[in-house]
Structure 1
Amino acid sequence: MNSHWVPGNHITLLENGEAYYPRVFEAIAAAEKEVLLETFILFDDKVGRGLHAALLSAAQRGARVHVLVDGWGSPDLPPSFTQPLLEAGVQLRAFEPAQRVLGTRVNLLRRMHHKLVVVDGQRAFVGGINYSIDHLAEFGAQAKQDYAVEVQGPLVGQIQAFCRANLDAPEPARGQWLQRWRLRQQRKGEATLLDDGALAAFVTRDNHQHRSDIERHYRAAIRSAQHRIVIANAYFFPGYRFLRDLRRAARRGVQVDLLLQGEPDMVWVKRASELLYQHLMRAGVRIHEYTERPLHGKVAVVDDRWATVGSSNLDPTSLSLNLEANVVVRDEVFARHLREHIDTLLQSCCQRVELPTPGRLRSAWIAVRSMVVFHALRRFPDWTRQTTPRAPRVVPLTIDTLDTQA
């Protein structure tokens, strides 16, 4: 795995845009030297303009500001939004700019799905929250439920080195030697506060040397679980080994609770997850559907000792195609705090899924259908990689390039 466990970190849980945006914007606006920001979605709306103001404030005071957006997730930033940033010296780049055929975007897959911010090498933010108004409750019934963390301590150095390495290459594996060198140099100066703060790791996945690191951290925690596993994940369709580990945990007496979407932003996501319900529930896994609004979180807690928060869903795109980033924490105080937040949703906003009792013919049909769809979806990433073999592009955004995309 590409993780390096570091002690002595202060990890703060941030729930939804109401908690996240004020902390991020305040940190960026106060930056003195450097802001590194990577995000899947940045829209020109109330939230995007709040970020815009913070970035301008930092750049105008002389901080180096680098912003990387995903070309699919952030396809329509107008010149009125970007020009002031560019004039202030902000370095704007797009990962795989949107490609259109007859006005329709066609390059959906292999996205840069990170949600990362590093300010002056002192504070970092990692999670699943994008910069768009649908992460605020005022958006209404379709406002997303999500999480992020603020990190202070030695782990920030790893996140900073990772983001800086991404300035040199579309994916971390290009110029991988540079990333490793920067990480080694950063580790030499890391404080080792063994008696104070959380033990944490910054874990990423790419399409080269770290294809399964996030999944492997999940599976290791699940296999070691003794009492309880709680997973809240927006898009749930993991591979066979992940499902096998969950089933085995439930069968050896671990309470396994999955919190999944009941009011999805994309209906097909729920339909895919439902194909796994009976397979999991027959082993004792408890499934709860969050019905208050769309669930966008990607968090988990095991035994109130291990926890993760990040951008990675548990589906084929996140586990096998996208560039993702999570923080994994071994700290009882933080893990218990996150688990209590999830339990609040389970108790107040979820419906427990009951195991149906269909007839034999229907049971056989469900099993066959689930098996066919499961194996097709699991092989989908391999087919995608074969049809898009070239390395992704990272393109500097200028007024000219944005006018061309519009």
Structure 2
Amino acid sequence: MSNNWVAGNHLELLENGEAFYPRVFEMIRAAEREVIVETFILLEDKVGEQLHAALRSAALRGVKVDLMIDGFGSPDLSPAFIEGLTSAGVKVRVFDPGSRLFGQRLNLFRRMHRKLVVIDGLRAFVGGINFSADHLMDFGPKAKQDYAVELTGPIVSEIHRFVLHAIAVGGKGPGWFRRRLKAARHEERAPTGTADVQFVTRDNRRHTNDIERHYRAAIRTARHRIIIANAYFFPGYRLIKEMRRAARRGVDVRLILQGEPDMPIVKVAASMLYHHLLHAGVHIYEYCERPLHGKVAVVDDRWSTVGSSNLDPLSLSLNLESNVIVRDKDFNHVLAGRLNELMRHGCKQVQTSELTEWSGWRLVRSFFIFHLLRWYPRWASWLPRHAPRLKPLEAPPEPGSGATQTDAA
């Protein structure tokens, strides 16, 4: 992506599945030409079934529908679920499906972690919300707190081009890509608002650290406040250093992290950084009502980001991610208000006095953490890099037809 600011956009913040799913399904039902969905997790629960019904209905009325799921995040969809889509004309593709060894999935690294929806090339959804019922409050204590945005305006052209290119690189080729772009309308370039937006991605080739660089640049230039809400927090040394420097020069730096994590190791890893951050003046809040799954931030009164990228080694050094960076006072105000509400009513602030570990052990541990944070991006680069591979799934053949399921493209 160009990483240039694109002016004239409108954004709506969507908090949790209660706001996100109805809006996405409504727009899919209203689609006239094209629906493209990328998601890390798609489950066969009530949310997955609603997406299934919306995509199937759109395809049956002649809309081009493409669905990309991740082979690690969505490994257990039934043949009947897939057949219900493909038989209606939905193109279903799996990103790097992996075989299992003794029932265990081994394809953990370099996953397609993006969550993107593009409707008719005119409207896009970007965020951290998967298509699964655990993003709804009625799921119970393990329901996830998360965010996404709905975008209209010229930035949607870049997002649309990106998702089409992802399909083409996975096997369709440049000719298909050019034809799909040519078929797109040009009204998508009309301004719809006043927000400047960048669509920023992370991959394992040309854009290996773009999202982290945007975070660091925003923190480095912050003057008044920084609020970061991030589910999986174990960033690299340079980002930690910028946060500490900002707090020491008087910026109000606040972190919202998991207090009731979906995986215990998440809190353990983040808490290993508490000494470094608290003693520099960073304020840490643990969200304790249920698991935090958000990946959002605001800096001062204009800069914001919403997306799929955590601030941990997987997201910053391995996975395929996407965020929007927003420069707009109104959107910043809305997101900051939601995060302040979260801190007031759902968080416990961590105090320096609560850190009572033996100082000798803390010194040794700090030494190892420092060097881990400093060097893990380089270590991550040693892991195998492979070209993205999309496996298209087709409807099972009719009995006696002699057809076979399509192999990897």
What CA deviation, in whole Å up to 9, does each residue of 1:293-315 have, x standing for no partner?
A: 00000000011211000000001
Calculate percent identity across the aligned residue pairs: 58
Q: In the alignment, is residue 395 of structure 1 matched against residue 391 of structure 2?
A: yes
Q: In the alignment, is residue 86 of structure 1 matched against residue 93 of structure 2?
A: no
Where in structure 2 are the equivalents of 1:123-202 lying within 5 Å? 123-170=123-170, 191=189, 193=191, 196-202=193-199
Q: Partner of 1:264 in structure 2?
A: 261
Instruction: Tell me how far 1:197 sits from its aligned partner.
Output: 1.9
Is 1:41–1:130's contact at 8 Å kept on the other side of the alignment? Answer: yes
Instruction: Tell me how far 1:254 sits from its aligned partner.
Output: 0.4
Aligned length: 399
Q: Partner of 1:73 in structure 2?
A: 73
Give the Cα separation in 2 of the matches to 1:357 and 1:73: 37
Q: In the alignment, is residue 32 of structure 1 matched against residue 29 of structure 2?
A: no
Could you say what secondary structure the match of 2:311 adopts? coil
Q: Which runs of 5+ in 1 are unaligned?
A: none
Q: Partner of 1:286 in structure 2?
A: 283
Give the Cα separation in 2 of the matches to 1:357 and 1:30: 53
Q: 1:182 to 1:81 in 2, by over 3 A?
A: closer
Is 1:28–1:55's contact at 8 Å kept on the other side of the alignment? Answer: yes
Is 1:78–1:402's contact at 8 Å kept on the other side of the alignment? Answer: no
TM-score, normalization by structure 2: 0.91
Q: Partner of 2:13 in structure 1?
A: 13
Q: Partner of 1:118 in structure 2?
A: 118
TM-score, normalization by structure 1: 0.91
Give the Cα separation in 1 of the matches to 2:177 and 2:339: 35
Which of 217, 220, 226 is equivalent to 2:217?
Answer: 220
Q: In the alignment, is residue 317 of structure 1 matched against residue 314 of structure 2?
A: yes
Is 2:244–2:277's contact at 8 Å kept on the other side of the alignment? Answer: yes
Q: In the alignment, is residue 336 of structure 1 matched against residue 330 of structure 2?
A: no
Could you say what secondary structure the match of 2:117 adopts? strand
Q: In the alignment, is residue 375 of structure 1 matched against residue 375 of structure 2?
A: no
Give the Cα separation in 1 of the matches to 2:178 and 2:315: 23
Instruction: Tell me how far 1:281 sits from its aligned partner.
Output: 0.8
Q: Which amino acid aligns with 2:70?
A: D
**Which deviates the most, 128-137 or 375-384?**
375-384
Is 1:205–1:211's contact at 8 Å kept on the other side of the alignment? Answer: yes
Instruction: Tell me how far 1:169 sits from its aligned partner.
Output: 1.4
Q: Which amino acid aligns with 1:248?
A: R
What CA deviation, in whole Å up to 9, does each residue of 1:375-402 have, x standing for no partner?
A: 3466555445434233242111235699
What CA deviation, in whole Å up to 9, does each residue of 1:61-88 have, x standing for no partner?
A: 1000000000000001001111011011
Give the Cα separation in 2 of the matches to 1:367 and 1:185: 61
Give the Cα separation in 1 of the matches to 2:354 and 2:179: 57
Which of 232, 237, 241 is equivalent to 2:234?
Answer: 237
Could you say what secondary structure the match of 1:168 adopts? helix
Could you say what secondary structure the match of 1:94 adopts? strand
Give the Cα separation in 1 of the matches to 2:307 and 2:101: 32
Q: In the alignment, is residue 326 of structure 1 matched against residue 323 of structure 2?
A: yes
Q: 1:294 to 1:188 in 2, by over 3 A?
A: same
Q: Partner of 1:101 in structure 2?
A: 101
Q: 1:54 to 1:236 in 2, by over 3 A?
A: same
Is 1:316–1:377's contact at 8 Å kept on the other side of the alignment? Answer: no
What CA deviation, in whole Å up to 9, does each residue of 1:128-182 have, x standing for no partner?
A: 00000000000000000000000011111111000000111149xx97x999999
Is 1:158–1:183's contact at 8 Å kept on the other side of the alignment? Answer: no
What CA deviation, in whole Å up to 9, does each residue of 1:344-386 have, x standing for no partner?
A: 0100110010114778x92231232133245346655544543
Could you say what secondary structure the match of 1:89 adopts? coil
Is 1:316–1:378's contact at 8 Å kept on the other side of the alignment? Answer: no
Q: Partner of 2:399 in structure 1?
A: none
Which of 291, 295, 298 is equivalent to 1:298?
Answer: 295
What CA deviation, in whole Å up to 9, does each residue of 1:235-258 have, x standing for no partner?
A: 011111111111111111100000
Give the Cα separation in 1 of the matches to 2:352 and 2:181: 48
Q: Which runs of 5+ in 2 are unaligned?
A: 397-403
Could you say what secondary structure the match of 1:21 adopts? helix
